[in-house]
Structure 1
Amino acid sequence: MPTATPPSKGGRPRKSDVEAKSLHIIETASRLFAQQGFAATSVEQVVTACGVGKDTVYRRYPSKLALFEGVVAHARVQTEAHFQTAMAEATGDVMQQLRAAARWLLEVNLDPTLIAFKRIAFSEALVVGQSAANRTVDPIMDRLFALLRAAQEAGEIGPGDVSFLATHLINSIAVGPMITAMLGSTTYASSEAQDAYFEKAWRLFIDGARGVGRMSEA
């Protein structure tokens, strides 16, 4: 019968303990930034709420901006994992899967915590996630591109640059409601309101995407 690993007594802390502490710091900071905003949240508040030493936080995040960037990076990882789970559960043909991806984009861009982070980045004029902007791998966009290409191959939408189509889809489905939410509106707070908006926006996108081929021939 295997024996349990005894707790660390002195020396180097176990990797699992370090990771757990880092996650606790990020989750605490995420909650405070989302509730209070950037200006009203201090590293000292995060330290107190975490119940850890100040050096423990500053070793990982030497400034408040670095801490916020860590919060945004953590949210991005969680968002990508959520997307993978949602798409793993999506069934049906390519158009049903593309529709599921589009509906997920609307939902995630109206997530209250993510809205709070975006509001902070804009209102505080923070440059965060620059490394993300330079990333060559984006699993969400890669999957969206793949679905659009498959829809083109199936003759469901017209030919064209999938990058342009993906941008058009995001703008059609998610950007307007996201900006509305960032301005403080609760118009799309409920699933019912999101569903009603999505049905109209999805139909407009599909009608436009199916007409791409005809427009290019005109």
Structure 2
Amino acid sequence: MTNVSPPARPRAGRPTRAQAEARHEELLDTALDLFLEHGYQLATIEMIASRVSMTKRTVYARYPDKAALFLAAVRRAIERQVVPREVLENVDDGDLAETLEAVARLRIGQVMTPNGLRLQRVINTESYRFPEIFVTHNELSTAPVFDFVSGLLDRAAAEGTIAPIDSGQAARAFMSMVVGGQVRAIVAGRPPTPEQIDERVGFTVRLLLDGLRPR
């Protein structure tokens, strides 16, 4: 009889790749919470490691210093806020006002999530120390929405719905007027109700488009 050795088993206690990745994500989420709660200066690697039941050595095996951990935590939060192009295209129903309102509600809704609110507050408090987080947020999360809105305005201008304009500047004005004010209220702890969002977004989009209509 031929002896067949049993298949090798993973060593007891060794996490799977999925488990390891889940722990890594927990580390980054917890780090961002503590950086926000205590500020970058006062939050420590030891504090973060303790909160997720890791050793400092485990954390340092991934990140050489606190700054590297902070930047990784912020980048993960930014990446979770990125709106895929297909999602933006799905809200385009051909009506400029309705599509702009849908884009605005989408962006405002993102900031009202725990991840979105935490990210905005961290950017507001720490971008002077780490200007690259503002740049990364703009490149990954904000610029694609600007480009999409700019494209909507270019299409509307070609159709004669609005006057020919600098669509890039108009897209930035849209984000500032329609989204920025609501975001500032949310970050300040005064979130508008869904009814208030609809009213304010609708009013500001109408105001913007009235200013852009052909004369």
Give TM-score scaled by structure 1 length: 0.74
Matching residue of 1:3: none
The 2-side partners of 1:191 and 1:136 are apart by 27
Q: Is the 8 A contact 1:30 1:71 kept in 2?
A: yes
Which of the residues 102, 121, 146 maps onto 1:141?
146
Confirm whether residue 92 of structure 1 aligns to residue 93 of structure 2: yes
The AA in structure 1 aligned to 2:201 is F
SS for the counterpart of 2:64 is coil
Q: What CA RMSD, in Å, does the superposition of the two structures yield over aligned residues?
A: 3.3
Question: For residues 30 and 13 of structure 1, what CA distance do their matches in structure 2 show?
Answer: 24
Query: Equivalences for 1:10-159 in 2 at 5 Å?
Result: 15-81=17-83, 84=85, 86-87=87-88, 89-90=90-91, 92-95=93-96, 96-109=98-111, 111-122=116-127, 125-129=129-133, 132=136, 135=139, 138-159=143-164
Indicate conservation of the 8 Å contact 2:91/2:99, yes or no. Answer: yes
Contact kept? 1:37, 1:116, Cα under 8 Å: no
CA gap 1:196/1:37 in 2 versus in 1, 3 angstroms: farther
Q: What is the rounded CA distance, in whole Å, between the counterparts of 1:89 and 1:35 in structure 2? A: 37
CA offsets, 1:177-213, max 9 Å, x none? 333444x351x343233222212221211112325xx
Q: CA 1:131–1:206 in 2, change beyond 3 Å: closer, same or farther?
A: closer
Secondary structure of 1:129's counterpart equals helix
Q: CA deviation at 1:13?
A: 6.9
Identical columns (%): 24
Seen in structure 2, the aligned counterparts of structure 1 residues 28 and 204 have a Cα distance that, compared at 3 Å, is same
Q: Which has the larger radius of gyration?
A: 2
Would you say how many aligned residue pairs link Structure 1 and Structure 2?
Answer: 203
Deviation of 1:171 after TM superposition, in Å, equals: 1.2
CA contact (8 A) 2:111 2:186 kept: no
